[in-house]
Amino acid sequence: MNKTTLVYLILIFGLLVIQRALQRFRLPAPLTCFAMGIIVSLYFKQLSNDSVLSAVATLGIASLFLFAGLEVDIIEIRKQLPRLIGHLGARSLFLGVAIWIAVHYFDMVWQFAALLALAIFTPSTGFILDTLPHSGLDEGEQREVSIRAIAGEILALLVLFVVSQSGSVQHLAIASLSLVLLIALTPLLFLRSVSLSFPTRRDPSSHFSSWSESSAPSSASLLDYISSSERLSLESSQGSSENA
């Protein structure tokens, strides 16, 4: 086993075990992972640009947004839509003012000023979502905080998308169209793949009802047979009494 593989195993053990153990002492997991990253960068500098760690980091960010999306309640968003719009408007105003100050007073290009404003005014959504269960807030307050944190993160991602594609109007238009198509078609493709992978099964109640309908004529025939047998037995008993 080489040195790099050993470091990978130590990191996996630390991420899965140590940070969970430290949560018993009310230490947030993001801070523990951040400290572990600093230690690795200090003692193993050759891993700073490692492709495996980059892939794991990308997977972690994707998983974070996946679980954040699973916690979004559309009905609750509709109820809080006015306050949510006000929150996003206030955050957009802060970003705009910060970008304007950086451009006019510090002679920065607007792209760099936008990235600097995002770095200053965008909190860590992952840290917020991870610490919410241990924050002491009730369920409604946790839901409201998570919705606002996710909305702020989405706003920051949209601003970052515009900044990264601002080289030309054509690139921005093509990238925006691709993003809209991706958002619109991905759920449909996912539902289609699920329906093909897991075909719908027949409802047992419908199967029972169809079986009952198919067996209904035989039940009626059985009842007719029983009634006719009783009638014949009654007639034979009456005939024997008359002969007697």
pLDDT above 90: percentage of residues in the chain = 4
Q: Which of 19, 16, 17, 13 is nearest to 32 (CA)?
A: 19
Q: Comparing 201 with 84, which gets the higher pLDDT?
A: 84
- Is position 106 within any domain? yes
Q: Give the integer Cα–Cα distance in Å for 55 and 47.
A: 12
The structure's pTM equals: 0.60
Cβ atoms within 10 Å, residue 102? 20
Q: Please state the φ and ψ torsions of residue 50, each to the nearest 5 degrees.
A: -75, 135
- Is position 110 within any domain? yes
| 135-153 residue pLDDT tens | 778 877 887 888 788 788 8
- Is position 206 within any domain? no
Q: Which amino acid is present at 238? A: Q
176-209 b/e (C-beta count within 10 Å ≥ 16 → b): eeeeeeeeeeeeeeeeeeeeeeeeeeeeeeeeee
- Is position 219 within any domain? no
- Is position 220 within any domain? no
Provide the domain count of the chain: 1
- Is position 129 within any domain? yes
- Is position 92 within any domain? yes
Range of the domain at 134: 72-194
Residue 129 pLDDT class (50, 70, 90 cuts): confident
- The dihedral over CA atoms of 83, 88, 92, 93, expressed in degrees to the nearest 10, equals 10
